[in-house]
Structure 1
Amino acid sequence: MSAPFGNPIDSLTVTTGAINPQAERAVIAALIRDPDGRKILDLRITPELFAMDATREAFSAIRALILDGIQPDAATLRRAINDASLIEVETSLQEHVSAANLPVYVRLLKDSLRDRQTQAARARLVKAVAAGCTPNELRPFLDSIEQAQAGMEGKRRFLEVGELCALPPTENWLMKGYLTLDSLTVLFGDPGCGKSFLAIDIACHVATGTPWRGCPVKPGKVLYIAGEGRNGLSKRFRAWFERHGEPPRNIQICTVPIALTDPAGIAALVAEIQAMPEAPALIVVDTINRNFGPGDENATADMTKAVAGLDAIRNATGAAILAAHHSGHGDKSRGRGSSVLRASVDVEYAVEKFDQTVQVRC
C-alpha cells in the first residue's frame, strides 16, 4: 500500500532508548494524587511522552478519567487498564508520595522524547542512505536530526522572573487572530453548514499567503487530509484558485483516510511528513469522523486515542492542526462525541449557515 502523500521511503523506525522510568512513574503518581485536568493541558502531557507501554496505557486511562471529571483511583483504573499497567500505577504511588515537581518531571519526559526522536531520525537517515537516496533527498533527514539535537541543548530548568517577563509573546500567528502554529483548532457544525468550504478557504489563503478577511496570513505549505471525495475537492479547490486569480500551489491533498486512533498508523504518517522537503504550516483534517479509525467517538477512551493522534501530529510537525468536526446530535453548541476533544483543543469555532452566509463564532 502506498503512503498517503506518495513518499517512496518507508521511514518508520521504532527505538527503545532514552527511557526515564522514574519520571514516567512520578508523573503518573502526581496526576493520581492531584487530578487537575488543567495541568495536563497546560503542561501538554501526551501519551507519546511515555516510552513504556504500561505507563503510557496508565496515563491514557488517567487522563481520560480526569478530563471526564472522574477520580482516578484503584477501582476505576482496574477496570480500564491491564495488569501490567496496574502494577506500574501501584509502583508509582509507592515510589512517589507527593504530587510536587510535576513540571520538572514532565520536562524530563520531553527531553527523553527528543532523545528518542533524534535516534529515530538517525535511523531514518541510515535507511535512506541504504535505499540509494540522492544528497538532495537526504537533506530533510539531516535537517530533522539537527532540529532534534538543537532542542536538546542548553536547556535550563529555571528562569529568572525578569527573564520570563522579557520573553516575547508566545503566539506564533499563522492567521492573525484566528490560528497559531503548534496548535489544535476545531471547526464544528451541522452537515452542509460550510465546514469544509471554510477549511478549504483557510487552507488556500495559507498556501498563497493572501490575507484572510483582512487578517494577515503567514504563507506556508498545507497538507489537506480529506479521507475521501477527490472529485468534490477538485472542484472546490479549482473554483477557489480561479476566483482569486492564483495558480494552484503549495497544497498536498490526501484522499486516503488516516486512523487517528491507531498509534502505528499515526507514527507512519508523522514519519512521512517529517521526510518531506518542506515542513507544513497547516494540516487540515476533514473530518474527524472520516479519519477517526477504529472506535467510537462517543467513548472517552477512543476519543482520547484520537486526540493523542492529533497531538502526535502537532508535536512532531509544529504545524497548526485544523480539524473539521460535526456538531452534537442534541447539543448544537458543541462538537459531537466525548468531551475529551473539547477539553483538549486550543480553540473551537462553531460554524453556522444562514441563507448564503457562513458565520463563524468562537
Structure 2
Amino acid sequence: MKKENRLLTIDGETLMSQPLTPLNFVVDTLLSQGLHILAGSPKVGKSWLALWLAVTVAKGDPVWGMGVKQGATLYLCLEDSTLRIQNRLFEITEDAPANVHFTTNSDTLGKGLEEQLCAFLAEHPDTVLVIIDTLQMIRGAGYDNTYAASSWTSYPSFPPAPKTHSFRRSSFSVQNRFAGF
C-alpha cells in the first residue's frame, strides 16, 4: 500500500498557544546555535572569516556591533598547517585567547570525528562555537558528492585575504575588512 504524502500543518490558534524556546544566539541576531554552512567561491576569504569569528567569539568582542556569547571555540582548519594558522593569527590579533582551540587534523564522519568532538565538548563544556573548515575534509570516502550542501544563503563577497604570511602585522585589520559585509 502506498504511503500517503501529506503536508504536516499546524493551525494558527494551536501555534500561538504553544510555548516555544527562543533561539540561542552565539552572535546576536546573526549566528544562532545549530548548523550553518558558509559557502562561496574559492579564495574569497571564508577561512579568514572563520578564523576571525573563532577568535572574536572566544574573546567576547562584538561582531560587527552585535554582542556575542563568549565561550570556548574550536576551529578545525583541516586544509591548513599549524604554521599557516599561526601566521594568520598574527595578522588578525595581538592576543589570541587560551579558549580558542585549533586542530589541523581529525577523523572523518563515521570514523571517529563524532567521538573526538564529544570528547572536546566534555573537556570544554563552555564551548559555544565549532567551525569545520572544510566539509569535504570530514566526509571521507563513501560519502556521495551529490548530497553536498542542500541549501545555503548567498552573501556578498568581501575583499580577499592579504597575501602576506609574515609575523609583521598588516595595517589592514580584519575588522575593517569585514566591516562592510
The answer to whether the superposition gives a TM-score over 0.5 is yes
2:105 alignment partner in structure 1: 256
Question: 1:223-262 to 2 correspondence within 5 Å?
Answer: 223-227=74-78, 228-242=80-94, 246-260=95-109
RMSD (Å) for aligned C-alpha atoms? 3.1
Task: Find 1:221's aligned residue among 49, 72, 87.
Answer: 72
Q: Is the 8 A contact 2:27 2:67 kept in 1?
A: yes
Q: How does 1:1-362 map to 2 (within 5 A)?
A: 33-34=4-5, 164-165=18-19, 167=20, 170-181=22-33, 183-227=34-78, 228-242=80-94, 246-260=95-109, 263-295=110-142, 298-300=145-147, 338=148, 341-343=149-151, 348-350=153-155, 352-354=157-159, 360=181
Paired AA for residue 232 in structure 1: R
Higher RCO by CA contacts (8 Å cutoff, separation 6 or greater): 2
Cross-structure match for 1:316: none
Residue type at the aligned position of 1:191: P
SS in 2 for 1:290: helix
Q: Tell whether the 8 Å contact from 2:45 to 2:160 is kept in structure 1 after alignment.
A: no
Contact 1:206–1:222 (8 Å) recurs in 2: yes
Q: Name which one, 1 or 2, has greater alpha-carbon Rg.
A: 1
CA distance in 2, matches of 1:217, 1:352: 23
Instruction: Work out the percentage of aligned pairs sharing the same amino acid.
Output: 24
Q: Is the 8 A contact 2:55 2:96 kept in 1?
A: no
Displacement after TM superposition at 1:254 (Å): 1.2
Structure 1 CA distance for aligned equivalents of residues 136 and 156 of structure 2: 17
Q: Equivalents in 1 of 2:108, 2:154: separation in Å? A: 23
2:44·2:160 contact (CA, 8 Å) conserved in 1?
no
1:170 offset after TM fit, Å? Answer: 1.5
User: Deviation at 1:226?
Assistant: 1.1
Q: What residue ranges of structure 1 are gaps of 5+ in the alignment? A: 1-31, 40-159, 301-337
Aligned 8 A contact 1:194 1:351 in 2: no
Shift of 1:289: 1.9
Q: 1:35 offset after TM fit, Å?
A: 7.3
Quote how far apart the aligned CAs of 1:203 are.
0.8
Give the C-alpha shift of residue 351 in structure 1.
5.5
Number of the residue aligned with 1:23: none
Please report how far the alpha carbon of residue 277 of structure 1 lies from its aligned counterpart in structure 2 after TM superposition: 4.0
Paired positions, count: 159
Q: Please give the TM-score of this superposition, normalised by the length of structure 2.
A: 0.71
TM-score scaled by length of structure 1 = 0.38
The Cα of 1:215 is off from its aligned counterpart by 0.8
SS of structure 2 residue aligned to 1:188 = coil
Structure 1's 188 and 216: CA in aligned 2 closer, same or farther, altered over 3 A?
A: same
The one-letter amino acid paired with 1:342 is S
Paired residue for 1:125?
none
Q: Deviations over 1:212-243 (max 9, x none)?
A: 1111111011011112322111111232221x
CA distance in 2 between counterparts of 1:179 and 1:342 reads: 19
Cα 1:207–1:297 shift into 2, 3 Å: farther
